[in-house]
Every structure is written in structure tokens, then in C-alpha cells.
Amino acid sequence: MAAQEEFFTGIPKIPYVPSAGPGEVMCFKHYHAEEVLMGRKMEDWLRFSVCYWHSFCGTGADPFGSPTLHRPWNEGPPMESARKRLRAAFEFFTKLGVKYYTFHDRDVAPEGSTLEESNRNLDEITDLALQLQTQTGIKVLWVTCNLFAHPRYMNGAATNPDCHVLAYAGAQVKKGLDIAKKLGAENFVFWGGREGFLSVHNTDVAAELKHMANFFKMAVKYKEKIGLKCQFLIEPKPKEPCKHQYDYDAMSVIGFLQHYGLERHFKLNIEPNHTTLAGHSYEHDIVMASALGMLGSVDSNTGSPDLGWDTDQFPMDIRNTTLVMKTIIEQGGLQPGGLNFDAKVRRESTDLEDLFIAHIGAMDAFARGLRNAVRILEDGLIAGMVKERYSSFGHGIGQKVEDGSATLEEMEAFIEQNGEPKVTSGKQEKYESIFNHYI
Ligand code: XLS
Ligand code: NI
Ligand code: NI
């Protein structure tokens, strides 16, 4: 048998070299997979995942320009290049030392002219994926269905005004769930690509929301029927491609899930670039979802404050990664979710090695965030200050508010007895100064 084609020639398995100088970017200086922090290996806190669509399907094309990234695996007839792409991807995951990957159904296998043909393509490619997974030990963090690229979905999938289109999406998701089971995916993501509206004039919002909820109920039912054990995740995004998307941000998705009685079956996959598009700060939705026990996974990327769209850059800012990791440690980890690099190299970063440099840089940024967060939590200084700030809820009237037994009459009696509260400083700058000490 001919030797398997190598795509990243000259690039070895990426080593950990903590002493490496500033110009050495093809090694980890902070990410040390096996090192144990707060009782867990770094790789288990971080659970890094590479995304298929940007890193292996992306061409660098944008609305103003043609492809700039000419990948050897994207050449040839569709099924042949699908197989090459998969082998290239597994070579990349192995050399990078990442244990998880994520994909849309249509990233790994081309859409055929009928659903049957698309499904056959998927069967064939996922046979190879399963083989490569077994050989390498690499696993699927999550699968998702692309319910937004094909023209049939231009008016939405689960929220399409035409039930024929919704049915197609349902059929596609059924197959996606079968594939998730076949490959042992740990999660399944629903990103509402075109679930929203561009004009309120032609849209029955109440009907669309109900259809979307019923669509999710069908997915839950089928998941249970086939005994698929993965976590369902919804990924909020406020806009793009729609002007308004129903899954606007963490709190709107949580409200939606609760309204339709779906909250037990889903968690959230938070993408910080979407959070900033919603007008929040980077860590906002991670903190909000986690506070309500709904943070399931993170699409680790970042936007650009100068551009108002989903630029999907690699996360390189240590302040952000520290805040994210602090939240993740506080909730006891992300498993079965992970940190998925839903990020793409810039269209100007045309070398194959740039794919490695980008992932290594982002992994190191998260490893530093993890190390910083561990120091913040182990020192306990900030936690102690926050605890003190809320200490009035630990006794007396505060305790009654805390456990939900207090009444407005008791509030009135308390004020009659104790009068005006004394104002206390919020000390924001003190917290910020202490936080900076750990960065
Ligand atoms: C798009 C989303 C998408 C999902 C998966 O903005 O981030 O890539 O993560 O469909
Ligand atoms: Ni995403
Ligand atoms: Ni995105």
C-alpha cells in the first residue's frame, strides 16, 4: 500500500518548550497538556477542539474578494477531496496534540442532489472518520447540521414559513443525530443560522418561535429514541446573517428554553465574538450562562472592535482568557463541552504553517488564562472581597431574603427599626488593580 500523503511536511508534533524565545512560535510555551493544576490535567480543563469549517474548508474568500488560501486537500472531485481533507485534518489534530474536533455535516461530506445521496456521502466519509478516530484516539466534541448555506434555507430552517423546508431540516437533523451516535460525539450543536427575520412585515414571530421549539422537541425525542447520550447545545448569536436572530444572546436563549419547557434538554455553546456582536463585553454570556447552570461549551474566538461582524479571530488576549477560565473553573469545568476554536486565520495568512501558529498561540493564551485563574482562585483575595460585599445576606433579614421567605412587610419593619443604610464603596478600581496583578 502506498504511504499516506503528508500535508504538513516538515512540521513535527508540536513540543512544549517553556524556555522558547519570543520568535519561536511553533511550540507551546504555556500549554503543557499533562500538567496538573487544581487537581486536573491542563488538557482536561481546556478540552481544546479544532473546527473543521474554518480550518479545513475555509478558502479566504470574502464578500469583496476571491479565495486566497489554496489548500492541497481542497483539490479534486468533491468526494475525493472530502477524503483528503479528512486525512489532512487528522494529521493536523495529531501534530497539534488536540483531542477533539467539530464539524457541520456538509463540511465533511458534500451535499448531493438528493437527501439520499447526501446521506450516502456522509456514511462513506464518516466510516473513514471512525477509522481515523480509532487509530488516533481523537474524538468529536460536537456535530452540527448546516441548515443555513443551501438556498432552500434562505428563509430559515426550523422557522421557515414553508413546512416543506422545515421537514427537510428535520430530515437532515435526523441524519446528523445518527452520525453523532456513530462517531460518539459528546455534544450536538444547534446554531440558528437563519432562524430570525429581516422584516417584521412578512413574519409571524409567534408562529416561528413555536415551530422552532417544536422542532427542538422532535430532536430531543429522536435523540432519546436512538439512545444518543450527548449534550444538546444552542449557540446564541444576535445578528448575521439575519438582521435579528431569535437566539440573540445567552439570556434570550435561556428564556426561550424555559418558556417552551426545554431547559432540561439543552445547554449553551457561547461564542464570545457573538457576545460582543450583541453589544456585551467578551466574557458576559459565559458568566451569565454559567451563573444559571447553562454553560455547556465555548466557541473560543474573538472579534475585532473595529469591525461590526463575526470576524472569528483566534483568541489571543490574556485578560479575556483569564476571565473565561476563572468562570469555567468556578463551575467545575466544561465537560462534556470544551474550548472549540471557531476561528479562522486571516485571508492574508496564507501559509500552511499559519494554521499551526494560530492554534498554538490561542492554546497558549488559554493556558496562560488557566494559570492566571488558578492563582486568582487559590489566593482567594478577590473571592474574599466579593464574599464580604454580600455578607449582609448571611444572617437576619438578609438570610430571609436569601432563602425566599421574606415579605415586604418585614422590609418595612426593618427600615422603621434601622433607618437609612450606610453607603459602602464598590471598590471597582481596587478589584481591577488586583486582577491586573495576576495577568
Ligand atoms: C457562526 C457560528 C457557527 C456555529 C456552527 O457564526 O459560529 O460557526 O458555531 O454552526
Ligand atoms: Ni460558532
Ligand atoms: Ni460565529
Q: What residue spans define the domains of the chain?
A: 3-379, 383-438
Provide the residue type at 226 as one letter.
I
Tens-place pLDDT, residues 9-64: 999 999 999 999 999 999 999 999 999 999 999 999 999 999 999 999 999 999 99
User: Does residue 80 surpass a pLDDT of 80?
Assistant: yes
Assess whether pLDDT exceeds 50 at residue 256: yes
Q: How many helices (H) and strands (E) does the chain have?
A: 16, 12
- Contact 299 CB / ligand 1 (< 6 Å): yes
Those residues whose C-beta lies under 8 Å from the C-beta of residue 298, and which sit 6 or more positions away, are: 269, 270, 271, 272, 286, 324, 328, 334, 337, 338, 339, 340
Mean pLDDT of 81-100: 98
Share of the chain above pLDDT 70, in %: 99
| Ion ligand 2 neighbours, Cβ < 5 Å | 271, 299, 342
Over 80: is that where the pLDDT of 2 sits?
A: no
Please classify residue 363 by burial: count the beta carbons closer than 10 Å to its beta carbon, then call 0-12 exposed, 13-18 middle and 19+ buried: buried
Catalytic residue among 54, 104, 274, 280: 104
Q: Please check whether residue 272 is in contact with residue 320, taking contact to mean a CB–CB distance below 8 angstroms.
A: yes
Q: How far is the CA of 10 from the centre of ligand 1 (A)?
A: 32
Q: What is the DSSP letter of 97?
A: T
For residue 307, what pLDDT band results from cuts at 50, 70 and 90?
confident
Tens of pLDDT, residue by residue over 160-219, are 999 999 999 999 999 999 999 999 999 999 999 999 999 999 999 999 999 999 999 999
The pLDDT > 90 percentage for the chain reads 97
Pocket flag, ligand 1, residue 312 (CB < 6 Å): no
pLDDT tier for residue 366 given thresholds of 50, 70 and 90: very high
* CB-ligand 1 contact for 271 (6 Å cutoff): yes
Looking at ligand 1, which residue's alpha carbon is closest to its atom 10? Answer: 191
Name the residue of 50, 150, 237, 242 to mutate for ligand 1: max ligand atoms within 8 A of Cβ. 237
Please report the pLDDT score of residue 1 as a whole number: 41
Please confirm, yes or no, whether 104 is among the known catalytic residues. Answer: yes
Instruction: Output the residue whose Cα is nearest ligand 1's atom 8.
Output: 342
Q: In angstroms, what CA-CA distances link 374 with 41, 44, 63, 367, 429? A: 12, 14, 42, 11, 22
144 touches ligand 1 (CB under 6 Å) = yes
Q: Which among 263, 326, 321 has a CA at the least distance from the CA of 292?
A: 263
- Candidates 1.10.287.10, 3.30.70.520, 3.40.50.620, 3.20.20.150; correct CATH number of 3-379? 3.20.20.150
Helix axes 352-379, 318-330, angle to 10 degrees: 60
State mean pLDDT over 412-427. 98
Kindly tell me if the per-residue pLDDT of 343 is higher than 70. yes
Mean pLDDT score, 286-299: 98
Question: From the CB of 107, is ligand 1 less than 6 Å away?
Answer: no
CB 38 within 8 A of CB 378: yes
Q: Which residues of 217-235 are buried (b: 16+ CB within 10 A; e: fewer)?
A: eebeeebeeeebebbbbbb
Task: State the pTM of this model.
Answer: 0.97
* pLDDT class of 3 with cuts at 50, 70, 90: low
Give the residue among 307, 158, 304 at the shortest CA–CA distance from 218.
158
Q: What are phi and psi of 269, to 5 degrees?
A: -110, 105
Ligand 3 mean position, distance from CA 311 (Å): 8
pLDDT band at 309 (very low <50, low <70, confident <90, very high): confident
**Pairing label, strands 187-191, 196-197:** unpaired
